[in-house]
Structure 1
Amino acid sequence: MRKLIFLIPVFLCVSCEYFQSSYEGEPVARVGENYLYKSDLAPLLSENMTSDDSTIIVNNYINRWATQELFILRSKINLSQEKQDAFEALIAEYRRDLYIEAYKEAIVKKTIDTTVTAFDEAAYYDSNKENFKLNVELLKLRYINIGKDNSNIEEITERFKRFEAEDKTILDSLAIQFNNYSLNDSIWVKETQVFNKIPVITAENKEKYLKKSQFYQIEDSLEVYLVRIEDKLGRNDIAPLAYVRPTVRQIILNKRKLEFIRKLEKDITKDAVKQKQFETYN
């Protein structure tokens, strides 16, 4: 068996400038028939490194490289030829896959239309509603959390309940007095988000407070919570398009991508046959 020699030359104690001025083909270490060159080390170093820092980085890299190379050498000695052939086949397949996927992604990125219109979203959603059943409860609501000592509680409560255009404007102007609030009751939120924002409503008492088209004024020792539930959807209800729009958009783009790749695979073969790059023999 050939003796393995692991060389780490004296150069390890020199600074970054040494590597920068050296011939790129000069080896700095060897394990068996494999060499590590100064050009392999150059990307690790920078001009602002101290000599000590560069020496530590280079030493660590060489030792790590040598350890990996030694393991590979030992594995080739100790593994059966059948096992090695199987690994080489896997490596070749992985290499092909990397090239193919990188090329496909580059072509897709350059060619595919990424514009998804509201019409596209609605059309796909309407045709696939059963695929968008909820596994969580959703709510549309507005709420305000204010201190019990707030002198404007009565006016705030009245405007919050009525919630006409003028009321919205006034409530926005008073928002600095609120400990927490959300007046946008047109968006769907998860039930768990309600628990986080309105701590007096919990999983245990939600059946009491999370009812559609209801107003609640809830108090604890320090605060008053004004809550209006506009709408509610339960588990297994069809999710509204507004809630699943990002998912619908991604599905549409993925479908376009798959369709484009299928066509690309057919076209690349046709073109190769036409240009006499590909032929079969009977």
Structure 2
Amino acid sequence: MSKFFNYIVALFALLFCLSCSYFQTKEKKEVLARVNQTFLYKEDLVQFLPKDITSEDSALYVTNYIKNWATEQLLLDQAIINLPNSKLQEFDKLVKDYRTELYTESYKDLILSKKIDTLIKEETLVNYFEENRKNFKLNDDLVKYRYIYLNAKFPKLDVIKKQFIRFNKEDRKKLERQSLKFKSYSFNDSIWVSERNFYQKLEILDQENSEEFLKDNNFLQQADSLGVYLIKIEKVLFRNENAPFEYAKPTVKQILLNRRKIKLTKDFEKEITKDALKNNKFEIYN
């Protein structure tokens, strides 16, 4: 009887210590605000406080945060009281479904990111593009061009102009050697750019006159108050035409990667279900 009594005393002493520890832990939390039975603690707010904020701005931020939190919490409490049970159950199901989807999709992405092979051979990309060329239509006009912007009194401007228009290997080397003397330039005439980017780069051109400017193998010389633009349009493709492979390549690669991801996802789902059945983690009752 004495041993049993001592055991009871020890048990109550332990529970008392644990409860004291629990309440001490709760007391450490600094309460900032309360709405009905819901509390906002300082530690809940600190994680949202912007870094490098001044003390004055910090006080204003905290005040606004508490007001917004209180408004949302009051609305939530009133919604729970006043909305029909059927609507609350519908929302609870949506929340549960979203939580499940968020967790499972994030987990699958984590696993697949380690398994998926993102390298795709150029030949595979080209073959897919050729087989589906009709599906790759342009949504914007595309341009291949080069330009030089230089001082109107640039020495031997006529020579520069001749080299720029002809633009063989030797011409390009000579122009590149003088490129530091140009106001700006671009010789990447093998790259397709959108019409929008073209006019953003060459603001001297009026987009309303696109039909005049955007022609294959077209040379333009335009002057402003600071200098002269030499512009050579190599090639133009228009909206709704078939996209060139080099322009469509990133899209083609993404399509093929998505196909790999879908297949890996299905394989992974089958594997995890099969493993659960094997290890008695999943059972179907007839």
In which range does the TM-score fall when normalised by the shorter chain? 0.7 to 0.9
CA distance in structure 2 between the partners assigned to 1:53 and 1:197 by the alignment:
41
Are positions 1:154 and 2:158 aligned together?
A: yes
Q: Deviations over 1:169-193 (max 9, x none)?
A: 1111222332332112111122233
1:106 aligns with 2:107: no
User: Which letter does structure 2 place at the counterpart of 1:280?
Assistant: I
Name the structure with the higher helix share.
Answer: 2
Say which of 80, 89, 93 aligns to 1:89.
Answer: 93
Q: Match of 2:181?
A: 177
1:54–1:24 distance in 2 versus 1, CA, 3 Å: farther
- Residue 70 of structure 1 pairs with residue 70 of structure 2: no
Shift of 1:237: 1.8
In the other structure, the counterpart of 1:188 is: 192
- Structure 2: unaligned runs, 5 residues or longer: 1-22
Residue of structure 1 in register with 2:25 after alignment:
24
Q: Which whole-Å CA distance do the structure 1 matches of 2:278 and 2:78 have between them? A: 49
On the 8 A contact 1:213/1:229 being kept in 2, the answer is yes
Alignment partners' CA distance in 1, 2:202 and 2:118: 39
Aligned to 1:251: 255
The structural deviation recorded for 1:100 is 1.0
Structure 1 residue 137 corresponds to structure 2 residue 138: no
Distance 2:262 2:34 in 1: 47
Matches within 5 A, 1:177-216: 177-216=181-220
Moved more, 26-35 or 112-121: 26-35
SS at match of 2:206: coil
Gap runs ≥5 in structure 1: 1-21
Percent identity of equivalent pairs: 43
SS of alignment partner, residue 280 of structure 1? coil
CA RMSD, Structure 1 to Structure 2 (Å): 3.2
TM-score by length of 2: 0.76
TM-score by length of 1: 0.77
Report the CA distance between 1:107 and its aligned residue.
0.9
Question: 8 Å contact 1:25–1:39 — kept in the other structure?
Answer: no
Superposition deviation, residue 60 in structure 1: 5.9
1:87-128 CA-partner distances (Å, limit 9, x unpaired): 222221122112111211111112111223322322221222
Q: What is the Cα deviation at residue 145 of structure 1?
A: 2.4
* C-alpha displacement of 1:276: 2.1
